[in-house]
Amino acid sequence: MIPMTLARIAEVVGGTLHDVDDPSAEVTGSVEFDSRRIGPGGLFLALPGARSDGHDHAAAAVAAGAVAVLAARPVGVPAIVVPPIPPTETNALALEHDSDGSGAAVLAGLAKLARTVVDTLTDAGLTVVGVTGSAGKTSTKDMIAAVLAPLGEVVAPPGSFNNELGHPWTALRATASTRFLVLEKSARGPGHIAALARIAPPRIGVVLNVGTAHLGEFGSQEVIAETKGELVEALPSAADGGVAILNADDTLVSKMATRTTGRVVTVGTGSGAAYRAEDIHLDDQARASFTAVVPGVDGQEQRVPVRLAVHGEHQIGNALSAIAVAVECGATVRQAAEALATAGPVSAHRMAVQTRSDGVTVIDDAYNANPDSMRAAVKALVTMARSGPDRRRTFAVLGEMAELGEDAVVAHDAIGRLAVRLDVTRIVAVGATRPVRGLFQGAVMEGSWGEEASHVPDADAAIALLRDELQPGDIVLVKASQSVGLWTVAEAVLADDPAGTGNDDAAVGTEDAR
């Protein structure tokens, strides 16, 4: 965060100082909601949690070096106390364990603080890039950070830190030396992305796709599209530098061109996209290479070869979006391609591919799941199995895709059927929920005798099945929504390496809010 006095922070958030001897004392360190991460010069956020209230850790945070605490009530140590929020004004973006509204009040103060810092840095040359979509936000955010890094300091969230807490927290990581702030934006209902965009107004907005993730919360795909489009509505005009990067392959996304005053740049595989991919090939790890065809000088198209370090054909659209962002920020297409060639997975449990010493390959894509990303992951599994001279056996260990509403069973049934049609050797449906049973039944009904599918109650049972059936050279995909925690299966399979260690083909990073 940029240095700011306690008096100024209180002014910005509309709070009052309590137990503060020196209002001119400056916050020069990071803003943290975990007292264990506080360092000298920091600001601690007193937020309610599942197991404890941050207000109870205020003294420990100050002892660890925090200059003050942003709190909803006095805490006996230097604090900026924010005013309560009337229930009628509480935004739908609220913490799960906020029984008394204190969390909403602190979040509101945090949002105001982040907005002030971002405005100050934007005036000094910071470019804010926002990314949204039903699938692929985190992977694309990581790619954008990679292609922008050669141009200057980049701040981007760890993992999927993309909600009402993670968004301002990430924005406050920016300092005077930061040139690019890359933020992904999630939503659980209409108005959420608009609210996040007000915290850190983007100049460039990327919309990847409109799928059926969180359909149970939105009600319809049309409402999802309306909500995702809030990002492009928040952009400045073309005259003021606003740029909307839209996936031309997704009709609901391409229609958003009418909802922005920013300049529209399209990406995709179709001939009408300004940035498009041709000559697509996948290697034996399902990593794509293609020719990026992009606008050039004097109306002449430029053709640049691109080879991705991440896995899955679905990453092509994400990469094209990253290339478009890089060019808009001053990079050449070749510079972006060079960055993407070494930009492997950064965030944990997202198409992280590792191979044991006996040749068993594990695809850990268990951080989150929806119908679109599930289909993409299963296709990547099959592509990897078919790439060599001998087809490898495949195991798809699949858990529930959460928040799909009344369509959940049908959506899971379709995934089970798809896995069988793609000739996955064994589908392992994990969990006792009705949607998971639907996935298993879909696979059984699509299969010849149902021998392709197994249904187990939990991760431990899935691990036991794999230990009994895996053979050298097999490939295992593990995927489910974050709430299932199915990455424990991937970790257990890797831990069973006969040589005692796996071969990391992908770096992993911090995971957090969805």
- Residue list, annotated binding site for ATP: 133-139
**Residue 359: Cβ within 10 Å count:** 13
Q: Rounded to a whole number, what is the largest CA-CA distance in the chain?
A: 76
Using alpha carbons, list the distances in angstroms from residue 444 to 173, 359, 414, 459. Answer: 49, 29, 12, 21
Alpha helices in 312-453 (DSSP H): 315-328, 333-340, 371-386, 408-421, 434-446
Annotated binding-site residues read 133-139
Q: Which residues contact 367 (CB under 8 A, 6 or more apart)?
A: 138, 159, 160, 347, 348, 349, 350, 482, 487, 511
CA distance 149 to 127: 13
Which DSSP state fits 55? G
CA distance 224 to 237: 24
Provide the phi-psi class of 228: left if phi over 0, else alpha when psi is between -120 and 50, else beta: alpha
Tokens of 34: 């975990």
Q: Is 125 exposed, middle or buried (0-12, 13-18, 19+ CB in 10 A)?
A: exposed
The phi and psi torsions of 298 (rounded to 5 degrees) equal 55, 30
CA distance 504 to 494: 10
Which long-range CB contacts under 8 A does 188-191 form with residues at least 24 apart? Answer: 188/92, 188/93, 188/214, 188/217, 189/92, 189/217, 189/218, 189/227, 190/218, 190/223, 190/226, 190/227, 190/230, 191/92, 191/227, 191/230
Sign for the CA dihedral angle at 196, 317, 135, 225 comes to: positive
- DSSP reduced 3-state for 100: coil
For residue 466, the number of C-alpha atoms closer than 13 Å in the C-beta half-sphere is 35
Bridge partners (DSSP) of residue 427 are: 396, 453
The phi and psi torsions of 260 (rounded to 5 degrees) equal -130, 150
CA 330 to chain centre: 25
